[in-house]
């Protein structure tokens, strides 16, 4: 079998890998649940390639992510649920339906009106999906209500952001960033109190409240919390690598170095970053 730019070749490869008699022993035993972590991981690797502006990696990682879609679709087809073609048809139908200003007639001629129209169509789709789930005897409780469209499968920071955005659409929101800072201070106080009492469950609960409030301030200043934290993670990696490099040049190891010495090198790394702008 030869590589090809035709999507049908990838579908053929996946079918061959899943063949119960001649396929790959690892691929054959996989399920939706076992593949799910890889799907999430591949999406993050796409994001990482974009952040690094590495187009070679981005091409490669998009292929890995596409493979995940094909893998799930193949397992669904084997179960008699749907095929890859059904996935493509569903998303093309959705995109055509949600863009009547492009593919049909609509008076949406501004970004704001397009966004309003998009939300209205999504609400109609949500009702239709609920009806389909009901006909199949599936519970709709988790997806009910105004927040029902926010999936728990999102990373926690992203889920918090989307919950807040949904609540804000109906006016449940702070009017300015400053009161949120007061809320953060309040949550810090409650976390301190929980720590003083040594209640681990309460500490975890208050920590979650604090992080949720910090996400809210990010939303109000247009700083995506997931991306902000990823930026900090990158900064931490860079500074810690500097510590390791300096210690190695001095013939010392991380394990043997004192906290004071590591902090000294950390501050030096910060000073270098400031000089570089």
Same domain, 53 and 106: yes
Whether 150 is covered by a domain: the verdict is no
Residue 84 belongs to a domain: yes
- Whether the pLDDT of residue 207 is over 90: the answer is yes
Say if residue 184 is in the same domain as residue 130. Answer: no
For 82-123, what is each residue's pLDDT tens digit? 999 999 999 999 999 888 888 887 878 888 888 888 888 888
pTM of the model: 0.60
For residues 192 and 232, state if they share a domain: no
Q: For the chain, what is the HEC assignment? A: CCCCCCHHHHHHHHHHHCCCCCCCHHHHCCCHHHHHHHHHHHHHHHHHHHHCCCHHHHHHHHHHHHHHHHHHHHHHHHCCCCCHHHHHHHHHHHHHHHCHHHHCCCCCCCHHHHHHHHHHHHHHHHHHHHHHHHHCCCCCHHHCCCCCCCCCCCCHHHHHHHHHHHHHCCCCCCCCHHHHHHHHHHHHHHHHHHHHHCCHHHHHHHHHHHHHHHHHHHHHCCCCHHHHHHHHHHHHHHHHHHHHHHHHHCCCCCCCCCHHHHHHHHHHHHHHHHHHC
Is residue 93 in a domain? yes
| Mean pLDDT of all residues in 213-228 | 91
Residue 116: domain span? 7-143
- Assess whether 28 and 135 both reside in one domain: yes
Q: What percent of the chain has pLDDT over 70?
A: 97
Asked if 202 and 264 sit in the same domain, the reply is: no
Residues 184 and 232 grouped into a single domain = no
> For residue range 131-189, what is the model confidence (pLDDT) as tens digits?
877 777 765 555 667 787 787 777 888 889 999 998 998 899 988 889 999 999 999 99
Report the percent of the chain where pLDDT is more than 90. Answer: 64
Q: Do 74 and 163 lie in a common domain?
A: no
Would you state the pLDDT for residue 139?
Answer: 59
In a domain, 76, yes or no: yes
pLDDT of residue 269: 93
Which of 84, 118, 143 finishes a domain? 143
The domain that holds 64 is classified in CATH as 1.10.287.1080
pLDDT score of 141 = 53
Higher pLDDT, 126 or 212: 212
Last residue of a domain, one of 143, 168, 191: 143
Could you tell me if 75 and 179 lie in one domain? no
Residue 197 lies in a domain: yes
- Per-residue pLDDT band at 57 (split at 50, 70, 90): very high
Q: How confident is the model at residue 251 (pLDDT cuts 50, 70, 90)?
A: very high
* 127 in the same domain as 11: yes
What's the rounded mean pLDDT across residues 42-57? 92
Looking at per-residue pLDDT, the higher value among 128 and 12 belongs to: 12
Q: Is residue 148 part of a domain?
A: no
Same domain, 36 and 102: yes
Domain check: are 102 and 211 in the same one? no
Residue 1 lies inside a defined structural domain of this protein: no
| Same domain (yes/no): 17, 86 | yes
pLDDT value at residue 264: 95
Total count of domains within the chain: 3
Q: Provide the pLDDT for residue 82.
A: 96
């Amino acid at each position: 079998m030869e590589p090809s730019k035709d999507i049908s070749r990838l579908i053929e490869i996946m079918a061959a890998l899943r063949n119960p008699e001649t396929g790959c022993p690892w691929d054959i035993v996989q399920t939706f649940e076992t593949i799910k972590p890889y799907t999430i991981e591949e999406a993050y690797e796409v994001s990482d390639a974009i952040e690094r502006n590495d187009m070679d990696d981005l091409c490669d990682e998009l292929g890995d992510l596409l493979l995940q879609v094909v893998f799930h679709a193949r397992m669904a087809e084997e179960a008699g649920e749907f095929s890859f073609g059904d996935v493509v048809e569903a998303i093309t139908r959705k995109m055509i339906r949600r863009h009547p200003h492009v593919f049909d007639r609509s008076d949406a001629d501004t970004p704001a009106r397009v966004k309003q129209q998009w939300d209205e169509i999504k609400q109609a789709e949500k009702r239709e999906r609920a009806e389909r789930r009901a006909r199949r005897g599936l519970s709709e409780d988790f997806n009910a209500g105004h927040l029902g469209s926010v999936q728990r499968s999102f990373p926690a920071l992203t889920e918090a952001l989307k919950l807040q955005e949904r609540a804000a659409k109906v006016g449940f929101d702070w009017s300015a960033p400053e009161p949120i800072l007061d809320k953060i201070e309040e949550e810090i106080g409650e976390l301190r109190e929980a720590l003083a009492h040594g209640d681990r469950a309460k500490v975890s609960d208050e920590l979650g409240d604090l992080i949720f409030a910090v996400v809210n301030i990010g939303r109000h200043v247009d700083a995506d919390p997931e991306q902000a934290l990823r930026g900090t993670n990158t900064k931490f990696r860079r500074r810690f690598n500097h510590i390791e490099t300096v210690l190695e040049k001095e013939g010392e190891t991380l394990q043997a170095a004192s906290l004071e010495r590591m902090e000294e090198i950390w501050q030096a790394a910060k000073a270098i970053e400031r000089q570089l702008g």
